[in-house]
Structure formats: C-alpha cells, structure tokens
Structure 1
C-alpha cells in the first residue's frame, strides 16, 4: 500500500490567508465603533407643526342691542298658608296644582282640645251670667229698700260693688269664650283668596306649630314674568321700560309688557338682580310656571358700536375678562376686553378687539400665551351663529 502524500502551501498562498484573517478582525472591530458613533450623533430636527385653532372675526352691531333673558311666569302675589294654633294635621282637602276659591276649606287640625276649651269657656260664661243676674236682682231689691230707708247705705254699697264685680267677671268670661271659639275656628285652614296651590309643605299626621307653613297659594289674576340680570346689565333697567315676552309653550305669540320692578339688592347666593315684567294684556293661555324669553331694551342705551362674539370665546386674565387673538406672526395673544352685555349665546364687547382680529372661539382653556397656531374656520358655522 502506497503512502498518501500531502502538499504544503506555498509562500504566496500563506500570505493571502494571513491578509484575509487580518481584514476579518478589522471588520469585527469596526462594527461596535460604528454603533458607538451612531449613538452619539444627534437626531435630525423635526419641524414643529402649528396647532389648529378655530377662529372667527367679531361682528359689528349697534350699542342699542336689547337684552335677551330667560324668564318664568309667576304669580304677582304668593302667600304662605298656615294655622294660627298648634295641633296635629288630620285632613288635607287640596293638593299641589289645585285651583281654590276664597273661603274654601283647605285643611283641618284635630279639634278635640279646641272643642273642650270652647265648651269650658261657654260654661264659665253661663256661670258668670247667672252670677250677674243674681247680683242685678239683689241690687234692685236693695235699691228699693234703701229708698224706703229699710237698709243702711253701707249695705246698698255692698250690693252695688257685688254687681260691678259680677258684671266684670261676666265680661271677662265673654272674652274668654270668644277667644276659645276663635281657637276652635283656627283649627280649620281657609283660603283667603282665589288662586292655585303652588307648594305643599306639610303631610297628614304632622304635629304643627303655630305659623308653620302648610301650603303656598299663588293668587289668581295679575302675573309677572320674572328674570334675573347681572350687575353689568342693570344700566338702563328701570320701571316702565318696554319688554317683549315669548313663551316656549305658546310658539308664535308675543306679549307686550313693561318692567314693573327691579330689585334694589343682589341675591346673596347668585349675585344677580331680580327683574319683574308685567304683561299689558295677559290672557288665560298664560299659565303659572311657563318658561320663555323676555327681551328688554334698556332706556339709556347709546349708539356706540359693539362687537359680538360667541360666548365660548370668553376667557379671563386674572379676574378680568379676556379673549385669545391670533397675531400677525401666528402666535397667540391674551387680550383683555370690556364686556358691554351678556347674551344667551354671545357676548358684546365695547373695548379690546377690532373687527379684523381673529379671535379663538373653541378650546380657549387649553391655550398658552405665545403658542404658535394655525387659524382655521369652523367646520360647522351654524354652531357659532349669533
């Protein structure tokens, strides 16, 4: 068997292999270095995209714009009905919304104690009457006998004193009987006026104290349309100012009226002023509790132009009203304004903005001063109709 012969590589082949190993090592060393360089390099800057904001331009209107205010029909006179004596409520004959007439019985207290007191007072009155009659007869007899000098003057004086005392006791008993009779009558609650029961404030079985309300009675007849205004809306509001009233339940009809009363002080809770409008020609279709809108034109309004914006544009700067305006450079500016009047869906500005200004009307609570924005028109313009 012949041995296998192995040939050794030549010098050229060996040099080529060495170079290839070195290149492979250098490639392996270059990978982490390349990754390190990539980690240290800064990312390419991304262009800032301006935020889109919905803007509108203010509409010019005359300064004589009337006030459009929500209102409710209420009775001009509302009284609280209560018993004048204490007792347990045993009967209620009317309920919420019932129409009542003057003199109608509305409710009753348990009359047992009042009946007993009245009976006792009548018995005392009868006894006093008997005592007075006896004193009168005795005085007549003594007077006749004194005229014939059959009795002394002292005895006559005693009869006269006894008669006077009996007369006083009878008068006192008569007064007590009258009071007891009144107390018995007070256990029945009677309507003092025609009207409608507007509230119920006690239930059958309740033990009531004198003066505790049982019902509220809204008088029939004169009604008022009641609304509330802010202090800045008071200018020009005074009794006699003309007003127009529309009611949601009676569409297509308008009633003429006049301001009858403006509250001299603000409500401690809402800080608004109550204004009452009386209708010039009310009719039976106007019912208590109906809601609607009253339009009042203040008497001292001027012809100064005002600018109208949606109420959603209003923001604040501290405790002052302000709006966001998009400047010429596309940045937001918070500009203080003077509000001439507040409407149901709009505000009237007398100072602070111009008709050419682009005012942000949506999302005003999420903006910051100097923010770069892109003004766009409303997608649904009817949502911002003034």
Structure 2
C-alpha cells in the first residue's frame, strides 16, 4: 500500500476520534446544563460614596468678652488679628467711679461693725435691748455683702484673656460708654490640638449617613496640594431654621498656623456606615422595585442563587447595597444573569 494511503487512514482515524470527543463534550454540557457567567468578588470599601461639602474655618472655642458693669472704656490693649496669651490684660474701664463705690462700701461696713459693738456693749450693761443688737448685726452683714459686691464688680471692670488665642473682632473704641454685657472683643482659641474646626451644612439624606468620629479630608485654596485630616465632633440634632441644613462640625487634627478663621474649606466626608456596604456594578441588577433589587450570587462557584438586596444609593455605573443583604464570601454574577433562574448550575468564565 502506498504511503499516501496510510496517511489518509491516519487522518481519518484522528478525525473520527476528534469528532467523537467534541460530541461527548457537547453531550456532557447538555446533560449538566451549566450556564456560562462572569462574576466578581464582594469587597467592602470606606470610599463608596464620600459626601462633599464646603465649610468655614473657625476656632474650636470662641467667646464674646464684655464688662460686668457699665462705664467709660479707658484702654483697649489689642486689636483684631493679634495673638494673646492666657490672663493677658485686654481692656479696662475708667475705675474712678467703681473705686469710689468700693471705698463707700468699705466705710459703711466699718461703721456697721462699730455700731454692732456699741449695741453689744449697751446690751451687756442692760442699757440696750437684744433687738437692737440683732438689728445692728443684720446691718453689718448687709454692709459686708455690699462691699463684696463692689469689689467683685471692680474685678470685672477689667478684661483678661481666658485662654491663649486670637482676637477675632473688636467691637468698641476707647472713650465709648458701654453698658453691662456689651461685646468688647471676640476671641478664639489657638495654639493647641483640636482648636480649629470646619463647620458645614448637610442635607437630611447625607446627615443620616454620618456619626461622630467619622473621617474627613479638608483642602483650602490658601494651602494648595495639601489635604488635612479631620473627624466629625458635632452633629446638630435639628435643622438650621434659615438654611434647612444640619450643621456639622469637623475638628482638624493638629494646629495649622497658616490657616486663618474665615477660610473656605472643601470637604470630603467618609461615612463610617459606608464600611458596611458593598459597591457592585449596575450590570448585576436583574430586577428592581424602588430600593429593592434582585441579583444572582454564588457561594460555591457552581450554583447561582437569586437574592434580594436593599439598594441605598446608585452611582453612574454602580449601586451600593447593605452587607446584610449578601453573604460575605459570595460572588455576584455580572454577565449572564438575565438567563439564570435560582439554583441554576453555572460555569464561571474568565
């Protein structure tokens, strides 16, 4: 037999067994009915959907300083923008009148003591009455209280800085007559950790996502190419009547001397609650009704199971779902889900 005939026989045998193998593969696939799908693994992420806002930089603690009593402003020792130390004298009234009041109260008290001693001696000599002694004692106590009040008022006719800080505003000038409690200076803390905060306003749909100690990144145009870390330290329990927004306070980590009160900060706020959510492609959604959607998942890589998920937010090409909706080690079908039914066998393809 010629060599060419042997070659034809070999090719024929190979073709026969090759066709038989393809037939068996197709037959096996038909029997198992595995449906090809593509999947992704679930991963939690803190940065699913950061909240963006703008806010104003202010001091952590601010105080309006004033005199307890009225009078004529005699001296103002600092101006707006200056840094002051704790207990540094900032201003004082003309003390002529208050000193006269203190002296008058002092003399009245000294006289009341002499009157009380005289009444006591007369009563001891049976010339005076017990009632006279008691009345003098009462008048002496009243005079003593008046002297204490006058000295206290004189103490608060002088303004000292309650802490190290910056003078934010000066309200009056030397020579003006001021009333009790009228604002003289506005001061804000400075020079120690946690003294600078950014106050922002959030809508109800955003404020419900955050909690105290959530992390934020803040940037200022005055300090380009730098993001400062901060945390949520205060959340308003009711909306601002004028804006309808909820005031939120972010405290910056450390103290930054280059930043001035009034700077506008751009905020990216990362809710801690988002760390308990999954971000999955929108292609995984096979059915939806309001905030409830349906997806297919697989825990063993062999079987697809239909699951309902609660969708908390939609992005351009993704959706955010609660972690409680899905098992932690599951894979989500992102291609081929439209042809699946629950408990279908699947074949994961790359």
* Range class of TM-score, shorter chain: 0.5 to 0.7
Structure 1 stretches lacking a partner, 5+ long: 1-61, 143-154, 307-339, 342-347, 352-386
1:199 alignment partner in structure 2: 169
**2:90 equivalent to 1:106:** yes
1:81 to partner: Cα distance: 0.8
Q: 1:135 to 1:69 in 2, by over 3 A?
A: same
TM-score (norm 2): 0.59
> Which secondary structure state, in structure 2, belongs to the residue aligned with residue 132 of structure 1?
helix
Tell me, in whole angstroms, the C-alpha distance in 2 between the residues paired with 1:213 and 1:69: 32
**2:150 equivalent to 1:177:** no
**2:80 equivalent to 1:96:** yes
Q: Which runs of 4+ in 1 moved over 6 A?
A: 348-351
1:234 alignment partner in structure 2: 207
TM-score (norm 1): 0.54
Q: 1:104 to 1:123 in 2, by over 3 A?
A: same
1:267 to partner: Cα distance: 2.2
Correspondence for 1:254 among 204, 227, 234:
227
Q: 1:235 to 1:304 in 2, by over 3 A?
A: farther
Tell me, in whole angstroms, the C-alpha distance in 2 between the residues paired with 1:78 and 1:109: 23
Correspondence for 1:66 among 14, 27, 50:
50
2:239 alignment partner in structure 1: 266
Structure 2 stretches lacking a partner, 5+ long: 1-45, 283-312, 319-350
1:135 to partner: Cα distance: 2.8
1:96 to partner: Cα distance: 0.5
**2:93 equivalent to 1:123:** no
1:381 alignment partner in structure 2: none
Correspondence for 1:298 among 251, 271, 277:
271
1:304 to partner: Cα distance: 6.0
Cα deviation, 1:45-76, whole Å, max 9, x if unaligned, reads: xxxxxxxxxxxxxxxxx992312322332211
**2:185 equivalent to 1:212:** no
Q: 1:126 to 1:210 in 2, by over 3 A?
A: same
1:177 to partner: Cα distance: 1.2
1:167 to partner: Cα distance: 2.1
Q: 1:232 to 1:102 in 2, by over 3 A?
A: same
**2:198 equivalent to 1:225:** yes
Question: Which entry has the higher C-alpha Rg, 1 or 2?
Answer: 1
Correspondence for 2:118 among 134, 138, 143:
134
Q: 1:230 to 1:137 in 2, by over 3 A?
A: same
> Which secondary structure state, in structure 2, belongs to the residue aligned with residue 133 of structure 1?
helix
**2:48 equivalent to 1:78:** no
> Which secondary structure state, in structure 2, belongs to the residue aligned with residue 183 of structure 1?
helix
1:285 to partner: Cα distance: 4.9
1:159 to partner: Cα distance: 4.4
Q: How many pairs align?
A: 238
Contact 2:165 2:189 in 1 (8 A): yes
Cα deviation, 1:188-217, whole Å, max 9, x if unaligned, reads: 222222221111222233322211111111
Tell me, in whole angstroms, the C-alpha distance in 2 between the residues paired with 1:267 and 1:235: 15
1:270 to partner: Cα distance: 2.5
